[in-house]
Amino acid sequence: MIEPILMGLSLAFFGIYTIVVILAFGFWLLMLKDCLQRPGERFPASGEYDKLIWCLAIFFVHFIGAVLYYFLVYKKDLRGRTTQ
């Protein structure tokens, strides 16, 4: 009696988990693409190796690196471009 309910719940959780993983991977890929295409002078610190450091951080730290890049580089650049 309880097995079909548990089977349905496990399929639902698996579906939700799959969607979350696909969205996280897409976000990671977009941030990596943005970092690779962004000119070096559009990074906040504008250091010589900022682009390399951010690309490596996104690539090796995956989702956490992408989230950090989003808030520390991508979002700041969007705010700076809209106020000018």
Residue 84 pLDDT more than 60?
A: no
pLDDT digits (tens, 9 = 90+) for 27-62: 999 999 999 999 988 888 878 899 999 999 999 999
Would 60 be classed as within a structural domain?
yes
82 pLDDT band, cuts 50/70/90, is low
Domain count, the chain: 1
Would 2 be classed as within a structural domain?
no
Q: What is the pLDDT of residue 80?
A: 67
Average pLDDT over residues 8-36: 94
Would 6 be classed as within a structural domain?
no
Q: Residue 67: how many CB atoms within 10 A of its CB?
A: 16
Long-range pairs of 80-84 with CB within 8 A, sequence gap ≥ 24: none
